[in-house]
């Protein structure tokens, strides 16, 4: 059943096996899988079925570090969460993303790629895409650069462009949430506080308020915070302020090592061969995906590690059969001498998406200002390190050299990135891929949750979503979020 706290309609019994707070991809996946195993689950959502300004306004906060999107812009506060912004791209994290590196402090996860691999097929089914076969293939015989395979989440009939859409979890799973036995969804229920047994750290209940100040209390055997990376950190910061840092903050790690994928757009590249494109699936992509194809290139993991690089990917995208503009031609004599439809045939734009290394100073913190429910607002201090920038630069150079080696074309490199300017002087963009803040680790001096996503120091409190990422890789996080949620559901079922 789906209830609306704003109307005062609530389940008669507010005692559950599991209380999941947040209805994004992680929360919905958890609720459905736990209910399928026979558990009685409540899924608490602070927003409505659709966007409302009243709810979205609660996501406002302050940018304290590098420039980024306003905090209420990239996140969505309604059923399905930020999957409402998602374009449907799916990428796997690389096996190397999970491995500790001596040259990258705080790198490494307490789990590995193989721990998530068993959940790939189930995640693909939930997200609405095909499973991955191979993740990387060598781009050429240099051993330095790979082609990266991606998938698209979509709901479309063959040759029917109108039906294309990436899978919005709220609309797609609304009927299943309404009809699945054992699941109660409560909309417009803003989580404000946990009640704790002070002796053993057991969460006794979670308190919620609607937008008319009606208060309700939910009890459960286990609680899962699945509010999105920023709100997960915010929730634990509030809890630890009340209970003397006993919930994952014994090492002052809650909110720290917050990551995004920094992005730099380079400008034009061009293809010198008379092909549809660099992709043999160009025409299928154009017809079925309503988009032009793109090629994703990344330094080979062994090469990147030997060169002290993080993971990063260069996207050659938006290809079209047009000549270079006068601005794109510029003052380089070689480019000026090229003739469209003789020397080159397709033009596109490129960007590099970088991995952000774990950084204690890149963090979520609480501000003195409070929202309408008396909760402190978020301050986001986004900070990058030199290795983050140098890795983006090196990845771009490897992609450009690949085009030259193969005779496929040429690409521009942003001059500020080429000159290795500091982050504050670069034309950086945020990908709004929020990760970290409640990172997974073996000990509280390194993180907040353990390998099973249980908050360190708690008896029955867990965290779901990208906030548990220990490193970011370069991959869009949605696929990994669902894999982790499936793994967590198995753990909670085994503990029942």
Assign 254 to helix, strand or coil.
coil
Alpha carbon 425 to its chain centroid, in Å, reads 25
Q: Which helix (H) or strand (E) holds 66?
A: none
Picking from 302, 265, 271, the residue whose alpha carbon sits closest to that of residue 415 is 265
Residue 378, phi then psi, degrees to nearest 5: -90, 140
Residue 125 has, within 13 A of its CA and on its CB side, a CA count of 8
pTM: 0.94
pLDDT at 134: 85
Q: Give me the residue label for tokens 């774990």.
A: 358
State the Cα–Cα distance between residues 354 and 294, nearest whole angstrom: 17
User: What CA–CA distances, in Å, run from 487 to 30, 61, 277, 366?
Assistant: 9, 32, 39, 30
Residue 129, classed as helix, strand or coil, is coil
Q: Taking the CB of residue 186, how many other CB atoms lie within 10 A of it?
A: 25
Give yes or no for a contact between 47 and 227, defined as CB atoms under 8 angstroms apart.
no
CA distance 478 to 483: 9
pLDDT value for 156: 54
User: 304, 311 in Cβ contact below 8 A?
Assistant: yes
Positive/negative CA dihedral, 486, 492, 495, 496: negative
In the three-class reduction of DSSP (H, G, I as helix; E, B as strand; rest coil), residue 39 is classed as coil
pLDDT at 274: 58
Task: Name the token pair of 373.
Answer: 């429910």
Can you tell me the distance from the alpha carbon of 213 to that of 195, in angstroms, rounded to the nearest whole number? 18
| Cβ atoms of residues 156 and 165 within 8 Å | yes
**Phi (first) and psi of residue 202, to 5 degrees:** -75, 130
Per-residue pLDDT of the chain (496 residues; tens, 9 = 90+): 999 999 988 999 999 999 999 999 999 999 999 999 999 999 999 999 999 999 999 999 999 999 999 999 999 999 999 998 888 889 999 999 999 999 999 999 999 999 999 999 999 999 999 889 888 999 999 999 999 988 888 765 544 444 457 789 999 999 999 999 999 999 999 999 999 998 888 999 999 999 998 999 999 999 999 999 999 999 999 999 999 999 999 999 999 999 999 999 998 999 887 555 555 555 555 555 555 557 899 999 999 999 999 999 999 887 778 899 998 898 888 889 999 989 888 888 999 999 999 999 999 999 999 999 999 999 999 999 999 999 999 999 999 999 999 888 899 999 999 998 999 999 999 999 999 999 999 999 999 999 999 999 999 999 999 999 999 999 999 999 999 999 999 999 999 7
């Amino acid at each position: 059943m789906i209830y609306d706290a704003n109307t005062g309609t609530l389940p008669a019994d507010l005692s559950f096996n599991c209380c999941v707070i947040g209805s994004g991809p992680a929360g919905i996946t958890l609720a459905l899988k736990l209910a399928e195993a026979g558990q009685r689950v409540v899924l608490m959502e602070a927003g409505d079925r659709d966007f409302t300004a009243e709810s979205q306004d609660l996501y406002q906060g302050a940018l304290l570090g590098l420039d980024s999107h306003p905090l209420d812009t990239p996140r969505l506060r309604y059923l399905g969460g930020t999957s409402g912004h998602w374009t449907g791209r799916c990428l796997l994290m690389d096996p190397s993303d999970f491995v500790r590196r001596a040259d990258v402090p705080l790198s490494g996860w307490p789990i590995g790629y193989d721990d998530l691999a068993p959940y790939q097929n189930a995640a693909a089914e939930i997200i609405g895409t095909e499973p991955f076969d191979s993740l990387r293939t060598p781009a050429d015989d240099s051993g330095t650069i790979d082609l990266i395979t991606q998938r698209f989440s979509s709901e479309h009939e063959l040759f029917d462009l109108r039906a294309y859409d990436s899978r919005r979890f709220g609309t797609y799973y609304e009927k299943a949430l309404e009809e699945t036995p054992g699941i109660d969804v409560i909309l417009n229920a803003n989580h404000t506080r946990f009640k704790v047994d002070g002796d053993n750290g057991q969460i006794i209940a979670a308190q919620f308020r609607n937008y008319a100040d009606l208060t309700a209390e939910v009890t459960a055997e286990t609680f899962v915070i699945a509010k999105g990376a920023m709100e997960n950190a915010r929730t634990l910061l509030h809890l630890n302020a009340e209970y003397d840092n006993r919930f994952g903050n014994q090492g002052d790690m809650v909110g720290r090592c917050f990551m995004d994928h920094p992005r730099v757009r380079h400008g034009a590249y061009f293809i010198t061969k008379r092909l549809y494109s660099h992709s043999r699936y160009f025409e299928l992509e154009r017809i079925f995906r309503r988009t032009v194809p793109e090629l994703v290139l990344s330094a080979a993991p062994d090469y990147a590690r030997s060169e002290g690089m993080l993971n990063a990917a260069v996207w050659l995208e938006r290809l079209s059969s047009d000549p270079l503009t006068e601005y794109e031609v510029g003052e380089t004599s070689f480019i000026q001498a090229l003739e469209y439809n003789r020397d080159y045939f397709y033009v596109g734009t490129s960007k590099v998406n970088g991995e952000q290394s774990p950084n204690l100073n890149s963090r979520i913190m609480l501000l003195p200002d409070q929202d309408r429910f008396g909760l402190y607002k978020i301050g986001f201090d986004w900070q990058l390190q030199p290795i983050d920038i140098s890795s983006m630069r090196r990845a771009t150079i490897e992609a450009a050299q690949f085009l030259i080696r193969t005779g496929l074309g040429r690409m521009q490199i942003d001059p500020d990135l080429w000159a290795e300017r500091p982050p504050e002087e670069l034309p950086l963009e945020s990908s709004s891929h929020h990760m970290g803040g409640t990172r997974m680790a073996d000990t509280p001096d390194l993180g907040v949750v353990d390998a099973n996503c249980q908050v360190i120091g708690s008896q029955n409190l867990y965290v779901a979503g990208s906030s548990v990422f220990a490193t970011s890789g370069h991959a869009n996080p949605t696929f990994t979020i669902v894999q982790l949620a499936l793994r967590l559901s198995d753990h909670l079922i085994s503990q029942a």
